[in-house]
Structure 1
Amino acid sequence: MRYPAEETAEKHRQILEQASALFRERGFSGVSVSEIMKATGLTHGTFYHHFDSKDALIAQSLGDASGKALASMEDAKASTELMQQYIQEYLTTAHRDNCGVGCLMSALGSEVAREPSVRPTFTRHVKAMIEIMAEPFKTAKKRNARRRAIHHMSTMVGAMILARAVDDPALSEEILREARTVLAD
């Protein structure tokens, strides 16, 4: 039975959304195609109407998450104040505790390093993030805008990874707080 194109597109979007969240929560190898399809309310067989393989799903879900993340930063690039607000909101316990809907770099960076097929998509995302983060510094006529953007992004992602990895809640909060402080400029 053929479904209308709109319904098929909606199912495809749901699969990408669920896969992205599950991959960010448990890693690429930590979730099966069956689990993703169950989360969308679809059967495992339906998967192959949308994707050739799990690798294809990984690549598309990463690209989809990247597009959404970049779109969410569009407002922040308008000024250093808005970028600072974005940075401060990134370095929160709410973001730390919800990696399924959070930053794909902090959730999947180490996973991507072991998945050569998605490294080009991830690289495009990182380059685009650097450009967006550098933009307010360029307009504020600050020197070395790109260097500053790379420093900020690396500090943010690294702090989030560490805050999620430690089993000491006070240390986790301290890591986030100190990163917020050092990046508040």
Structure 2
Amino acid sequence: MGRVSQAQAQENRAKVVAAAARLLRERGTDVSVADMMKAAGLTHGGFYKQFESKEALVAEATALAFANQEQLRARTETAHDGDHDEARRSLTDWYLSTEHRDTPGEGCPTAALAVDMARGEDDSAARRVYADGVRDFAAWIAVEGEDDGLVRLSTMVGALLLARSTEGTELSERFLDAAREAIG
């Protein structure tokens, strides 16, 4: 089999990072390199031609997951004609929905990766990317003129984690509803 072009190599790398971003949110950082490569439609052997290490891929995939979230915030703001308060309310409603609860691979990396990042190396690139993404999201979710972004985000993430961990019980939706009501 011949060598792939530089353009094809870049496309393959982007596929791997996108697949990894989804799988990390679905299954956490214990997901194997082989599974990430398979999800991208590539063989495990090509991994080390593209990435220095699994940790490097995790950092890049985490960054992509937060970039996707930032794009969602921008689209939400545009859909509400730049009205940040309406966009924040709309995003909060989606965040605390059963749809978001049931699709972690497409959802918020803050909630999906929290436990793995807490267990990871303090100085890892992925943890730094994660902390930056969390800080930016908390700033965006804050009500203008107030310093409540961390409280709002903590409430949202906690409710989502608890709703996911109790899915299939009546408690799951109650967590989402209670958080939505608490933060308005």
Q: How high is the TM-score relative to the length of structure 1? A: 0.88
Q: Distance in 2 between the 1:2 and 1:131 partners? A: 45
User: Runs in 1 of length 4+ with deviation above 4 angstroms?
Assistant: none
Q: Distance in 2 between the 1:161 and 1:120 partners? A: 21
Q: Which digits, 9 at most, give the CA deviation of each residue in 1:102-158, with x for residues without a partner?
A: 111111101011122121111111111122223xx32xxxx42xx222111111101
Matched ranges for 1:10-29 at <5 A? 10-29=11-30
Q: Distance in 2 between the 1:91 and 1:45 partners? A: 40
Query: 1:40: how far off?
Result: 1.3
Query: 1:78: how far off?
Result: 3.7
Q: What SS is found at the alignment partner of 2:55? A: helix
- Match of residue 81 from structure 1: 86
Query: 1:168: how far off?
Result: 4.6
- Match of residue 95 from structure 2: 90
- Match of residue 131 from structure 1: 139
Query: 1:2: how far off?
Result: 3.3
Q: Distance in 1 between the 2:107 and 2:138 partners? A: 18
Q: Match of 2:4, as an amino acid?
A: Y
Matched ranges for 1:14-163 at <5 A? 14-29=15-30, 31-74=31-74, 75-76=76-77, 78-116=83-121, 117=124, 118-134=126-142, 137-138=143-144, 143-144=145-146, 147-163=147-163
Q: Match of 2:155, as an amino acid?
A: T
Q: Which runs of 5+ in 1 are unaligned?
A: none
Query: 1:98: how far off?
Result: 0.8
The number of residue pairs the alignment matches comes to 175
Contact kept, 8 Å, 2:138 with 2:152, in 1: the verdict is no
Query: 1:167: how far off?
Result: 5.0
Question: Residues 40 and 132 from structure 1, CA distance in 2 versus in 1: closer, same or farther, beyond 3 angstroms?
Answer: same
Identity, % of aligned pairs?
35
Q: Which runs of 5+ in 2 are unaligned?
A: none
Q: Which digits, 9 at most, give the CA deviation of each residue in 1:76-121, with x for residues without a partner?
A: 3742112101101110111111111111111110101112212111
Q: Distance in 2 between the 1:87 and 1:63 partners? A: 21
Q: Distance in 1 between the 2:47 and 2:168 partners? A: 40
Q: Which digits, 9 at most, give the CA deviation of each residue in 1:35-88, with x for residues without a partner?
A: 111111111111111101111111110011111111211243742112101101
- Match of residue 171 from structure 2: 171
- Root-mean-square deviation (Å): 1.5
Question: Residues 167 and 80 from structure 1, CA distance in 2 versus in 1: closer, same or farther, beyond 3 angstroms?
Answer: closer
Q: Distance in 2 between the 1:62 and 1:183 partners? A: 27
Q: Match of 1:164, as an amino acid?
A: R
